[in-house]
Structure 1
């Protein structure tokens, strides 16, 4: 697999957190130090097992004090300008793409806690990793405004962080995502996403792998490949197709606007894609988000979720996919997940998925 060399520079912030610059081109000086003099970084979280739903829940009480929608002049993801009084998370006065350990992580920090197993109670230290990935130094920009060179750098960062995070002790699954919009809980306006390294395989992935295994035993082959082939042939829910990818509204979506993107080739994760496939995929993601924005002639809140294979299990069964979702169901109305959805996990769609696909396709 041929890819251009990643222009990568690693430093440490003043509290010991790892910080990595990813640049569009080589030769940029990234030696500016973090001048804040922060206390050593050692957050403590734990994971607790739910024996009823066979699931793990993350408990991270220190996140209650995390930064929430600061004014632009105090944005922690903007570069630290020369002579400025405010010192952000970014030591440099400009940057292309950066990835660094979250100051208020859900997972990570000290792994010195004890595992507790008493009756139905099962608690473990919240080992793992949470990172922030900033797409650009421009506070007023967004993912859809990134030029092609920056999209390539961002894709390189996602690939590199997936590979690196998969090596960390205790990490079982790497999740790349973006939350955009205060309506869905994004606490910073600056264009950024996150990467989680979970110390367990998430329940969604575990269910998907179980379904894939049942399909393989009953029919042979890959469940996800079968879905992609069927959607591509029927074309009633397809929004866009490219040489290497198919984007479609799933037959049973859970959000008012939801599009899944699958590679035609069976691959487990982002690092398995070629450079040509990555370039095509990033451009396709921009196109789909622009269609979301043109639904109501304004940017709408959305989530981008990259579903990658776990680090150690089910890698032959899993199939990389991108899930783009928005709770916006009308120009000024959000879809709320009330009692049926939140209490019973029984979801209701207010519009036919085929009509949603037609609308997105025709934009």
Structure 2
């Protein structure tokens, strides 16, 4: 395989006139990323009250946000619609050409339209834009030309700043589509924030895969009922050890007469007890005398990823799950998180 960087000549440093030349692919990549990052910075600086006005129009729709575009703008529009829908804003993509052949029926009263066209003159959008105007649907346009047909027709036009395409010929949609995509993300996050969208809401729309697992709740993964390893504080340690080993969690919860979790006995507590006075001395003590008081706990509604973070921070493998009165209602082991795909 060819080296990405030519080896430096003997006796020369890596800087200055005799610096090693970069592979042309790397030069091209850096040029593209530099141009596009500069365009995104310019886009951020260009945003003004029209952005807030556009978000207000889209947020006010009682129906869905219909996103449309042709060609590369159409591919971007599909992604924007998907991001909106997954973050709490009902949305769908409508292909502008198909709209002219019956799919306009998908766009109904209460909907808002978000149309993308870098030139602002995409002919396939004409019928869709006309439909929006005919039925008084809010229309937000994303375009690269302020005086274009789309910009003039839109209730709010978000105009992309002038920036060269990253294509060496300046023809292939690259920088312009990157700005469209980023602006769609900005709109989606702004609407998410307006709605007060939470991680719990997010999981409703992302039940599968790694993300869904990380957004699951402790109550979805914990063990409860007869599986809980519990004993009263006066339990002799020989019986406490039997109760502890009868379960597979490597710990024992010490539960007071009022049902609250007073403490926890772990393998570490047993080891320290043995080191302090030998096995015989340990067995003469009670669970209350050996336990670690006020152990770390979680609630049933704690996010699974937060429980994992707590385990990692404390270097522990098990957490008791308690209710508002600190009564144990479940137990969670790190293996449960691994099996669920949280870790």
TM-score scaled to structure 2, two decimals? 0.21
Structure with greater strand percent: 1
TM-score scaled to structure 1, two decimals? 0.20
Structure with greater helix percent: 2
Between structure 1 and structure 2, the one with the greater Rg is 2
